[in-house]
Chains A and B, each alone.
Chain A
Amino acid sequence: MRYKWQNFNFVKAARPVFIAAIILVLAGIVSISVFGMNYGIDFKSGSSVDISVSKPVEKAKVEEFLNSEDFGKYTFTSGEERISIRFEEALTEAQQQKLDADFKSKFDESASFEINIVDVEIAKEQELNALYGILIASVGIVIYVAIRFEWRFAISAVISLLFVAFMVISIFSFFRLEVNLPFILAILTIIGYSINDTVVIFDRIRENLRFAKLKTDADLTEVVNTSISQTLTRSINTVITVAFAAICLFAFGSEALKMFSLAMILGLLIGAASSIFIASPLWHLLRRKAKPHKTAKPQNAS
């Protein structure tokens, strides 16, 4: 596997990827500003009710039942074992109990409920909190990587991870997938993995730099390409195993973690690609631009 890619020019291949990435980011901005996010209960006030039923319940009957109960506007989806209802208003405690009792008596005695009620103030606060979290974590990563490596690695790594996070958010916006608190967890985990991925490659670049003689641009390109190809098997194997864990969670895991795992799968794939085709070439670009300065300075002085 390793040998197949040994002579592949990742740096050169990155150019179209950069262009594609910029287009995707613009598309993402358009999508988020036009469609917005499909906020779930955690970020929008209202009530969400998930009912797990032991026998199939007719959709029309549930609708009729809900209309008769006067709980305000609602939307709902129903599956074989699960009915999810979203009310625009926050249900009061009495309404919750009534819904619980009436549903049980009408449809299924052994139905089990999950009811979430969120006030809009708290919802906004949580979103803001998460955004701060991402920003502070990014700053922390920049500082650490700048100390351990150098600032160009730090800049490239953070641009790459923000790109990954933004792409996942854009995809969720475009496909109208529901965004809840676990989604924020997924974004933060993706950032962790993405930085993990990038650091592994950067570490190799740093190592290879020590033995490299950098006379021409081609030498620098060579170092980046070799480093990526040397770590490629590791990158692919790690993505396969972790993505597999996320896919298992998506396929078998509980309903509450479905969107979390989906975001994880997307983030892992985009993150691995971004470490190879965005972070590393970006460092290459920054480093190449910096080179003439180093040689130019002594000339000015003399």
Chain B
Amino acid sequence: MKRLLTFVLVVVVAFGAMIWTSPGLLNSTKLGLDLKGGFEILYEAQPLTGSGPVSKESLIETAKSLEDRANKTGVSEPEVTTEGENRIRIKIAGVSDEATVREMMKKPAELEFRSASGCAADAGYCKVELLGSDFVEGAAEVVYDNLNNPLISIKVKDKEKFGEITTRLVGQNLAIYLDDEMLSDPVVQQPLTDGNATISGQRTIAEAKELADVINLGALPLSLTEKYSQSVGATLGQKSLEETALAGIVASIVILLFMLVFYRLPGFIACICLLVFVWLLLAVFWMMNATLTLPGIAAFILGIGIAVDTNIITAERIKDEIRNGKSVSSALRSGNKNSFRTVIDAHITNIIVGAVLYFIGQGTVKGFAVVHLASIIINIVTNLFLTRFLLQLIVKSGRFNKPSYYGVKESEIRAL
């Protein structure tokens, strides 16, 4: 009786938690661009002038500036990642004015040094003094002063122009802007005529390094060409989501009914564990802050398939043992033991496939692999351990000892 109560308690608590959190979970699951509309672009970067390799710093800097720009247009959570040596992948979901955003993305980074000379009092820095192209490419670097504070050393191409500007602006600020955003506004200490200058006032080395990278990027901006693009209209994405969700629901209902009819009591427990599995997978998704995309849903549905298989292997094994004449409780023990090994071996091979996909794949393939791996691991927790735990509670309660509860006919049982 105690065990039966525990069983009921576990199930009630699990379902309570599921019902309580599911609406919130479903609402906060991030949808990918293929499910709610948006676009994905893979850019290849090249130096704007001349050829030559793209440095890692400038690629990362470019990616950062793309992210900033996307954020400024007000789209929600743009995903910008660098790939390989010269590629940047950008994903923006739920954008309403795609053309404008895309146009903004493609512009090369614009670095400007501005001063306030001749500006109205409240206009801030309005006069552009220097452009990114005025700086020597790749010359900005972090150096240290006598007190070991980080400084940024820069070099300009035109000594005289720089001399004139710094002479005119002694004691005033020269502000550094990237894409219209002010990064720093150091004060010009003295006229600089040899074309070299240092900027101080950066609090940390990382901060100084970042500004140096920005200046280098501005000196040699990268031009971006689209190598791959996918753009999905909002209603089309919505439709995909609805269709795929329908497929998932129909498949789930039929699978649950199949398990119930074919395996009776173990089938019933399998159903409970399958529902917990789906819920837990969603919860892990939410915790990982992952984005659900179409390939992800495909992996999700196939994960359900593997989960069902796990239950079938266990239930089938128990059936076998009962047929061989064992009592229900010893059938459960040896059935569990034997099926455990099978399931683990099958799962590890699947994990190998998933891991290879994750490390080799890009974009879509990677998204698929993440869900695939997560579902296999959660499957081991729910459909192997939880199933066994629940089955044990039920069987040991001693109230369900008839072989027919396990889908075995009396006539099938062999005498020992």
| A interface residues, Cβ below 8 angstroms from B | 3, 50, 52, 93, 96-97, 110-119, 121-122, 126, 129-130, 132-133, 136-137, 140-141, 144-145, 148, 181-182, 184-185, 188-189, 191-193, 195-196, 199-200, 203-204, 207, 230-231, 233-234, 237-238, 240-242, 244-246, 248-249, 251-257, 260, 264
Contacts and interface: CB of A to CB of B under 8 A. Distances in A.
A168 to B, nearest CB: 15
A203 B345 contact: yes
Contact of A196 (B243, B306, B354): B306
* A-B complex: 5 closest residue pairs judged by Cβ atoms: A112-B233, A242-B305, A254-B240, A248-B251, A112-B235
Contact of B255 (A193, A195, A241): A241
B342 interface: yes
A242 B236 contact: no
Interface stretch (B21-29, B51-59, B72-80, B221-229): B221-229
B364 A181 contact: yes
Given A116-B228, A122-B42, 5 more contacts: A112-B239, A133-B360, A199-B346, A203-B345, A242-B306
Interface stretch (B8-16, B133-141, B169-177, B308-316): B308-316
Contacts of A148: 345
A196 B345 CA distance: 8
A241 B258 contact: yes
B142 interface: no
Contacts of B320: 230
29 contacts: A52-B236, A97-B99, A112-B233, A112-B235, A113-B236, A116-B230, A117-B226, A117-B228, A121-B227, A137-B357, A140-B353, A148-B345, A181-B365, A189-B302, A189-B372, A191-B353, A195-B346, A196-B346, A199-B349, A200-B313, A200-B342, A203-B345, A237-B312, A238-B308, A242-B302, A244-B251, A246-B305, A249-B298, A249-B301
A231 B226 CA distance: 52
Interface string B254-278: 1100110010000000000000000
A135 B243 CA distance: 34
Contacts of B92: none
B348 interface: yes
A252 B243 contact: yes
Interface string B345-382: 11011101111110011101100100010000000000
Given A114-B230, A144-B348, A137 B244 contact: no
Contact of A241 (B246, B308, B342): B308
A79 B131 CA distance: 54
B354 to A, nearest CB: 7
Given A50-B236, A122-B228, A245 B313 contact: no
Contacts of A185: 295, 298-299, 364-365, 368
A130 B364 CA distance: 12
Contact of B240 (A93, A200, A256): A256
Which of B37, B99, B239, B247: most chain A CB closer than 10 A? B247
Nearest to B313: A234
A238 B357 contact: no
Contact of B305 (A50, A113, A241): A241
A184 B338 CA distance: 34
A120 B102 CA distance: 21
Contacts of B37: 112
Given A126-B362, A196-B309, A252-B247, A245 B304 contact: yes
B94 to A, nearest CB: 14
Given A141-B349, A237-B312, A112 B302 contact: no
A114 B362 contact: no
A115 B230 CA distance: 6
A96 B229 CA distance: 11
Contacts of A246: 302, 305
Contacts of B228: 116-119, 122
A204 B342 CA distance: 8
A24 to B, nearest CB: 24
B43 to A, nearest CB: 11
Contacts of A252: 243-244, 246-247, 250
B203 interface: no
B84 to A, nearest CB: 9
B360 A129 contact: yes
Q: Which of B229, B262, B305, B360 has the most CB of A within 10 A?
A: B305
B365 A260 contact: no
A207 B353 contact: no
B147 to A, nearest CB: 50
